[in-house]
């Protein structure tokens, strides 16, 4: 049993979590509008969130997921990574899925990360995300 646990642990190359107040995202959207949205979110993310009731909760969830993924990569918003280099889409089941682009993808490859899993949850006040980098 111990050996299986150690093998599984070697497959996890990074973890990250983030929490954000949904009101913070709503405030940025209200203050900066489309300029804020297009700088932080991809067209698919914007389409998904805009189509949802209380879209600020969904934007906040994606914000938290992007932050969690950057913690998996160990970079924060440095090393040339843009907000849109981390995209959160939904599978047909509704589960969130991460797609890495550009510099985020390059760094993941350098680290041996082949897949990033993410879980997102939100309530009216907060959104939280947890990400795991697998290799």
User: Does residue 55 lie in a domain region?
Assistant: yes
Q: What is the pTM of this model?
A: 0.90
**Domain extent at residue 66:** 13-134
pLDDT tens digits for range 108-118: 999 999 999 99
76 vs 50: CA distance, rounded Å: 26
Confidence of residue 76 (pLDDT cuts 50, 70, 90): confident
Name the residue with higher pLDDT: 74 or 78. 74
User: Does residue 81 lie in a domain region?
Assistant: yes
The structural domain count of the chain equals 1
By the 8 A CB rule, do 98 and 87 touch? Answer: yes
Element (H, E) at 115: strand 115-122
User: Does residue 85 lie in a domain region?
Assistant: yes
User: Does residue 115 lie in a domain region?
Assistant: yes
Structure tokens at 71: 């913690």
CATH number of the structural domain spanning residue 21 = 3.90.470.20
């Amino acid at each position: 049993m111990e050996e299986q646990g150690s093998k599984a642990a070697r497959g996890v190359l990074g973890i990250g979590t983030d929490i954000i107040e949904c009101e913070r995202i709503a405030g940025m959207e209200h203050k900066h509008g489309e300029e804020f949205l297009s700088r932080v979110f991809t067209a698919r993310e914007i389409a998904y969130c805009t189509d949802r009731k209380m879209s600020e909760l969904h934007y906040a969830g994606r914000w938290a997921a992007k932050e969690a993924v950057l913690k998996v990569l160990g970079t924060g918003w440095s090393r040339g990574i843009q907000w849109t280099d981390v995209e959160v889409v939904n599978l047909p089941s509704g589960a969130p899925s991460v797609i890495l682009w550009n510099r985020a993808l390059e760094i993941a490859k350098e680290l041996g990360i082949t897949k990033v899993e993410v879980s997102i949850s939100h309530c009216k006040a907060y959104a939280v995300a947890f990400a795991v980098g697998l290799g």
